[in-house]
Structure 1
Amino acid sequence: MVSHPPPESSSVNQNDNSQPSKIIKPPRAPLKRLKSPAWDHFDQIKNNDGFVVWAVCECCGKDYAAGSNKNATNNLLAHTPACPRIHIRMRFKIIQYGSFLRVDNGSSSSIVEEIATGKQFSIRDVFQMRKISDASAIEMESDVSESTSPTQPKWRKVAYGGMQPGFEDNHTDESFLEDMVMNANVVKRNMLKVMLDSVSISQYLCIVALVVIVWTLTLRSSIDANSLLLLDVILLGLGFFVLLLTAEMLSFNLLLKFSFFITGLYVLSPIYHTLTWSISSDSIWALTVSLITLHLFLHDYSGCTVKAPGAPERPSFMSNISLNASIVASLLIASRLPSRLHVFAIVLFSLQVFLFAPLVVYCIKKYSFPFHLIFSVGLMAVTLAFAYRLHRLVFVLLLSLFVFVNMVCPYWLIRIQEYKFEINGPWDEAKLCFNITE
């Protein structure tokens, strides 16, 4: 038999100055005071790694503390045949020793709410905690094999197999949120790096703006056909020189292809000249503006319009649509020029810029990023100079666009990144990964 605790003046509990909690008697039989110190039995079972059962006899009200310790367990089993029923008051596990012990409820139902939470109690408090409802007590039959309450099967995390006995279909245990990961794929961005990356966008905006300025000056007859042809030759020579310097991809085969391309374009110039005679000029201007806007929205600012040497992949479908929109806009503008030579010169200039310039810029950026920045800043200065000559309002709009793209948008991106919150966990759909080697 297990004896009740000694008075507070006992030497075993000198450090425990707290008053014992009030004893609440069970509704059926009062709990009698134990005749011998309760900690004697705790000294016997304190090295037990298993569960400890605190049982109360329904007939005589005697307390028993039984664990894997042989003597303490036999005291409970010896009294079992004399009583028809025994109430299990607590079933806990000693986890931590010392002046305080941490107890953990091991039964399927939370008999003592404080114990289930893992709160620390003194040894005296464990045996004097009698605030247990009669409905939460577990009744045991007198059979020796059923002297301890059966534990509920542990919930297992399985994908298939149906419902597990004793658990709801949507049951989640305490480890459900252990696999939750927050902001696993969020990339922390630097303000300076984002501003440097936005230079590529401003650079291509300058290229498109220069093309539009040349179109406008040609339609106003400010630039003649010979000047356009000279500009085409200069741009073509500079492009070949950059490719030879950065990528070393200039070859006789490439020059031959360009010769065939220019010859075919010259032959088709009369057709382009009379292509839109039956369409009004207002429709041509509106369609040209729409196509250029579509070109800017769908353009791939991180790559080039053709397969560059060393590029990881080919141009995307949207990039091809953007290129086609720019070519159609060039043909619409060329159809409003006065002569076939003007048509040939302006179409060649447009194709060099929209088709050939992104490849040259990509090679420059791959060759040297500082040189890429110098080239971009110089291109912005030239574009702003021509825009100021064309109209001051165009200059202000273009300058505002550069400030918005290179300063406001990077700051905006860094600012809203603080509110990005992404969670991943066991509720996400499974992602199948296949490693196909054949």
Structure 2
Amino acid sequence: MVSHSSGHWRKSLYENADYDDNYTDPSFLKDLRTNLNVRFFTFEEAFKGVTRLNNQISCVTLFLLIFYLLYSEHVTPPNVLFTAGLATSMGYIFYRGRKLFDLQFLLEDSKTLLSVLVFGYLFAPLLHRLTNAISTDTIFSMTFFVLLLNLIFCDYGLSAAMVSKALSLNAAIFAAICLASRLSTAFHAFVLLVEAAVFFVLYPIFISLYWQWYFLVPIFGVCCGLLYSISFNGFLFYVLFTGFINIFCPYIFVIQQRYKHNIHGPWDEAIVEENVEGFIENNL
């Protein structure tokens, strides 16, 4: 309803004094737009995108498997340390590429590696006894929740407010310290901390630069092999869970895209677009 029709209605905040506040002009909806900037993904894109989540789940799974093998004395710490060193060396060669033979980079990286190993070895006895007063059940429960935090706040290559590399890394290191306190010797604890550094510090740096969806295959295969040798039920659950995330969830996501619908119009929040070049030209 219009209280007075003497003035012409305009889309302006400080005009139209003759009109009621809830007046809507027929031209108000002329700027209505639907599904602006909506992108529809194919199943292949969704499948490849979710492999980063599965890769992090596999990293956590393999780290826990290494802890179990050390905890049950199925493997010796030197063998685990040798395997981790070999894998890290191969990754480092691929990461540096042509800069591998640059003496400056080699010295800097060697000093960093030496510092981490020396301080980790010196503090391993302290960390090994840090949580002696806490029960094993409590340690395992805390480990589960902090590794869940690691998965939630990990950087999967998307720009999101909840992504926190620092929180994800700290959660993983805290879990490693908790589990290291349940191993038999300080050297076992040192090896597990080295593994935590490889999985949660070095490996994320590598995949952030060179990630491809098929990087999931080798770590998935290692997890399947170890789980099959330890527990068939655990192996079956891991395979089904991975398939659910990497196949079923992308399929449901692609199917549900047909229901995407959003509207844009004059009610949207105003966005100020600045023409920097024009501003500079007008003020010179």
| Normalised TM-score (structure 2) | 0.86
Aligned to 1:376: 216
Q: Alignment partner of 1:301: what SS?
A: coil
Q: CA 1:172/1:246 → structure 2, altered by over 3 Å: closer, same or farther?
A: farther
> 1:175-186 counterparts in 2 under 5 A?
175-186=27-38
Query: Per-residue displacement from partner, 1:150-209 (whole Å, max 9, x unpaired)?
Result: x96543222212413xx4333222222110011113222112111111122222221211
Aligned to 1:292: 147
Q: Does 1:159 align with 2:5?
A: no
- Asked if the contact 1:299–1:319 (Cα under 8 Å) also holds between the matched residues in 2, the reply is yes
Q: Does 1:404 align with 2:214?
A: no
- Asked if the contact 1:292–1:326 (Cα under 8 Å) also holds between the matched residues in 2, the reply is yes
Aligned to 1:278: 133
What amino acid does structure 2 have at the position aligned with 1:387? Answer: L
Instruction: Give the C-alpha shift of residue 390 in structure 1.
Output: 1.4
| Normalised TM-score (structure 1) | 0.57
2:177 to 317, 328, 331: 331
Instruction: Give the C-alpha shift of residue 428 in structure 1.
Output: 2.1
1:302 to 144, 157, 161: 157
Distance 2:220 2:268 in 1: 47
1:423 to 263, 266, 272: 263
Aligned to 1:244: 96
Q: Does 1:358 align with 2:198?
A: no
Query: Per-residue displacement from partner, 1:200-219 (whole Å, max 9, x unpaired)?
Result: 22222212111111111111
Instruction: Give the C-alpha shift of residue 273 in structure 1.
Output: 1.4
Q: Alignment partner of 2:258: what SS?
A: helix
> 1:5-404 counterparts in 2 under 5 A?
153-164=7-18, 167-245=19-97, 251-302=106-157, 318-365=164-211, 372-404=212-244
Distance 2:144 2:21 in 1: 60
- Asked if the contact 1:225–1:342 (Cα under 8 Å) also holds between the matched residues in 2, the reply is yes
Q: Does 1:432 align with 2:272?
A: yes
What amino acid does structure 2 have at the position aligned with 1:208? Answer: V
Give the number of the structure whose residues are more often strand, by fraction.
Answer: 1
- Asked if the contact 2:77–2:191 (Cα under 8 Å) also holds between the matched residues in 1, the reply is yes
Distance 1:295 1:432 in 2: 37
Instruction: Give the C-alpha shift of residue 378 in structure 1.
Output: 2.5
Distance 1:347 1:316 in 2: 26
Q: Alignment partner of 1:275: what SS?
A: coil
Query: Per-residue displacement from partner, 1:279-320 (whole Å, max 9, x unpaired)?
Result: 1111111111111112112211227xxxxxxxxx9x986221
Distance 1:212 1:198 in 2: 22
Q: Which moved more, 1:421-430 or 1:214-223?
A: 421-430
Give the number of the structure whose residues are more often helix, by fraction.
Answer: 2
User: Using CA pairs below 8 Å that are at least 6 residues apart, which structure has the higher relative contact order?
Assistant: 2
- Asked if the contact 2:49–2:213 (Cα under 8 Å) also holds between the matched residues in 1, the reply is no
Distance 2:188 2:257 in 1: 50
- Asked if the contact 1:242–1:360 (Cα under 8 Å) also holds between the matched residues in 2, the reply is no
What amino acid does structure 1 have at the position aligned with 2:201? Answer: L
Could you say what the CA RMSD is over the residues aligned between the two structures, in angstroms? 2.6
Distance 1:379 1:247 in 2: 27
- Asked if the contact 1:242–1:364 (Cα under 8 Å) also holds between the matched residues in 2, the reply is no
What amino acid does structure 2 have at the position aligned with 1:227? Answer: N
Q: CA 1:324/1:171 → structure 2, altered by over 3 Å: closer, same or farther?
A: same
What amino acid does structure 1 have at the position aligned with 2:30? Answer: E
Larger Rg: 1
Unpaired segments ≥5 residues, structure 1: 1-150, 304-312, 366-371
Q: CA 1:254/1:436 → structure 2, altered by over 3 Å: closer, same or farther?
A: farther
